[in-house]
Chains A and B, each alone.
Chain A
Amino acid sequence: MSARRWTGLLLGSLCLPGTLAAQASIFGVRGPGFPGRPYSAAAIGAGGSLGLFDPQSQLSPASLGPLETGAGSFTLLGDFRSVDTPAGSARTRDFRFPNVFITAPIRHQKYAFGVGATTYADRDFTLAVRDSVVLRDTVRTYTDTTRSRGGLSDLQLAFAIRTIPKTTVGLAVHLITGTDRLVARRAFDDTSYAAVLQSAELSTTAFGLAVGATRDISSKVTLSALIRKDFTARVNVDSARYGGATSLGADYGLPWTFAGAGLFRVTPLLQVATQAVYRTWAAANQGLVALGAPGASNSLELSVGGELTSRVRRTTQFPLRVGVRYGTLPFLIGEGPTSQPHEVAVSVGTGARFAKQRGGIDLSLERVWRSASGSDISERAWLLYTGFSIRP
């Protein structure tokens, strides 16, 4: 198949329905949304441990260092979840494009830049509650449905400097923006009562700056670090019901991000990596509590993974990537006593290049367990990432 046909296939795939968002979760309901992970499908396969070194991931601008040619990539995510709450269980599924990134080296590869978009927080959910209320001296049962579609996207302009030997320094400017379309509906079993249907749109804007660096310590060891600050998020609610006449403003803090990682080339066929990402989401706690949410706590993500190839000269053809990840989730749940959810994930992936290395596909499958101590809420998910890339 020619490169032109592959290009057509990839462009056609872009027409699929979906929005720029990552996986939703029941643990993203009581906050700005479920935090996105700005990784490519290949990095996910290694548990995210390669995120600070992967030029197709958007965690750090310094990861643009290995870039030799321009590339465009995007990731398709299929999310299949089983959710257990005290009110019942459900199986859900949704499909998203959580990562789009265009990168290119400039000035004889002394510099590189990247423009991309990824999910900052995903707030896709539909919640159903069965309850009753006494009206006209009669118990009336009803079903409340709260639906949210949208979240926050992280638009990034990244720039990497590779003039220092064995070192890449990256800078990135982030625009965090998005709209959340909310619908609340109550349908009574007694059809004498009309259904309540109210909607609103919530828009959020924030800015962020990131500085990252990657240095080859030796031929076998590379280290990377990142510091990022996201500034206050400003929130506006426009009520669609009254033609936007009602507008409420609010804000909450966004976190610092501190990340560090090491890449170890154990053999020419095997490399392993470990990564830690710490976000000070507690900065958002006061603002979120003031807005009625249970609050937020700092989050930590730890991941370990590796990539094993079969031949030294064909490292891009069907490598085996495996990884494991543990993380705490920033947004608390519960009324009164709150608890911080956490998640554990294992992943496996592979990929291939074709059309004279101009096209590439990566597949990763991640199994995730999420729960919160002291709560009866948990979920399990299969996350299937498919990454596409084009190098002109």
Chain B
Amino acid sequence: MTAPTPRPARRRAVPAFLAAVAALSGACSEKLLTPVNCPELCPGGQIVVYDTVLTPIAGEDSTFTGYVAANQSTGFLVSNNLPAADARGFVRFLRRSDTVFVTDTARTYTIDSVKISLTIDSRDSLQDGIFLLLYKLPPTIDSTATFSELTAAFTPEAFLDTVEVPDTLLNGRVSALLSGETLARVALVPADSGVLRLGVALTAPAATGVRILTVRAGTGAPTFQTYVHAAVADTSLQQQTITRVPSYNTYVTAAPFPQPTPTTLVVGGAPSARALMRFPWPSVLKDTAEIIRATLELVPVTPIEGLPNVSSSIVVQGILVDLGAKSPLVPDVTGTTTFTVPTSLPQPVEVLKIVKLWQGSTARPPALFAMLTPEASSFSVPIFGSSGNPAYQPRLRIEYVRPYQFALP
């Protein structure tokens, strides 16, 4: 190289160099993506996707019942001869006092009117002309009442009112207002002890049903509102409203929901049934593979019936430890598939997030719990094949890749 000579630099050249360096430095962002063709320019091996189908361990898949009772559900069913389930509803409201507090003093009152409200959660959107029939039931009707006992109490004398479910209403609140001459129908007698027991039936041009929300749904619970005239001198305080929500609600069906057999798995019904399936879990899937898709396929042994044009869902969850029917479920990780009736198609449920929990040194048990939502308040009760019925048994289809063979180099 040329030997340096001790001369001062030309200062005007320096800014030009600085500008060049600054421009170069300011553009320091990488962009390296290049389209290539394999294998000519692809280092290492190819990503190969493997496909495997697992079936439950024979005899290790079962149906357990009793999880959610009809009176614990977020809804109750009412229908008129629906083949899937002919159901009647029963609501027992909290006790209504015979006085009302106004300015810290219990006052007697006279009733002006009564409003009973229900919230429709789902209905057959193609079925017009649906009416709810409300009955005031005697104190002899309680939580042990059967379908026949309940329907026997639905007499003309007990009839309160008819509530129209507008044809345009998919879901929402409907009410019956009783006043004047009809007010006497809802009058509580001493034997009622201030408690209104409400029976709910349905009438429509064809067999159909509705699902009505309960107090467990959080919002939209049935209400029993009494508009009263309190015995108080101040006229601005005379009009009061007493609102009562259910202390108990349930529904009963004409026929019990289907029960599992050794060759079937049942989900749904009331008390609700859930199906537990345990799968063999190869070490390649547990320790080595990267799973990219996992689908549980449940195959109905009979067509799934229910309320037409209303969807229900099958929810699948993993378990933290295998304690059989009482296995705690893995929270927040679910697979779901939604279906409408009637259908005979296998129900696919994507369960990748659950199956990934079966991998590694702290793996969860390779088992899946299937349940129906809304639980204990759906007209559908799917019956699937179990491992005892090889043609209809559940299938867990898994696609995975093995560790990629990176180039060395």
Please give the residue numbers on chain A whose beta carbons come within 8 Å of chain B beta carbons, in ascending order.
Answer: 1, 9, 13, 16-18, 24, 26, 29-33, 42, 50, 53-55, 66, 68, 76, 78, 83, 85-95, 123-131, 133, 135-136, 144-148, 180, 182, 184, 186, 188, 192-198, 200, 202, 204, 235, 237, 239, 241-242, 246, 248, 250, 271, 288, 291-293, 307, 309, 313-319, 333-335, 352-357, 361, 363, 375, 377, 384, 386
Contacts and interface: CB of A to CB of B under 8 A. Distances in A.
Contact of B20 (A127, A147, A355, A386): A386
Interface residues of B, number: 57
12 contacts: A24-B32, A29-B41, A42-B1, A94-B30, A125-B32, A127-B36, A196-B292, A200-B406, A307-B2, A317-B9, A357-B6, A386-B20
B164 interface: no
Contacts of B45: 292
B408 A237 contact: yes
Nearest to A319: B2
Contacts, number: 225
Contacts of A352: 9-10, 13-14, 17
A291 B2 CA distance: 46
Contact of A193 (B39, B42, B293): B293
Contacts of A95: 24, 27-30
A193 B28 contact: no
Contacts of A148: 43
A335 B2 contact: no
Contacts of B2: 271, 307, 309, 315-316, 319
Given A90-B34, A354-B13, A363-B20, 4 more contacts: A271-B2, A307-B2, A315-B5, A317-B7
A331 B405 CA distance: 20
Contact of B24 (A29, A76, A182): A76
A293 B409 contact: yes
Interface in B368-409: 397, 399, 401, 403-409
Contact of A196 (B24, B33, B290): B290
A126 B1 contact: no
A33 B409 contact: yes
B394 to A, nearest CB: 17
Nearest to A83: B34
B355 to A, nearest CB: 11
Interface in B1-27: 1-11, 13-14, 17-18, 20-21, 24-25, 27
Contact of B41 (A127, A131, A145): A127
B34 A198 contact: no
B323 interface: no
Nearest to A388: B21
B41 A180 contact: no
B353 to A, nearest CB: 9
Given A91-B31, A352-B13, A355-B9, A129 B42 contact: yes
B365 to A, nearest CB: 22
B33 A92 contact: yes
A168 to B, nearest CB: 13
A116 B38 CA distance: 38
Contacts of B181: none
Contact of A316 (B5, B42, B397, B399): B5
B35 interface: yes
B44 A292 contact: yes
Contacts of A94: 30-32
Interface in B40-67: 40-45, 47, 49, 51
Contacts of B403: 198, 239, 241-242, 246
A194 B25 contact: no
Interface in B319-339: none
A261 B56 CA distance: 75
Contacts of B103: none
B24 A87 contact: no
Given A85-B34, A292-B44, A135 B51 contact: yes
Contacts of A316: 2, 4-5
A263 B250 CA distance: 101
B28 A315 contact: no
A30 B1 contact: no
A22 B347 CA distance: 56
Nearest to A93: B31
A210 B397 CA distance: 59
Contacts of B409: 31-33, 123, 180, 202, 204, 235, 288, 291, 293
A30 B293 contact: no
Contacts of A33: 409
A384 B23 CA distance: 12
A356 B27 contact: no
Contacts of A17: 28
A155 B47 CA distance: 36
Nearest to B20: A363
A92 B31 CA distance: 5
Nearest to A356: B8
A88 B30 CA distance: 19
Nearest to A142: B47
A24 B1 CA distance: 28
B34 A1 contact: no
Contacts of A128: 33-36
A354 B352 CA distance: 65
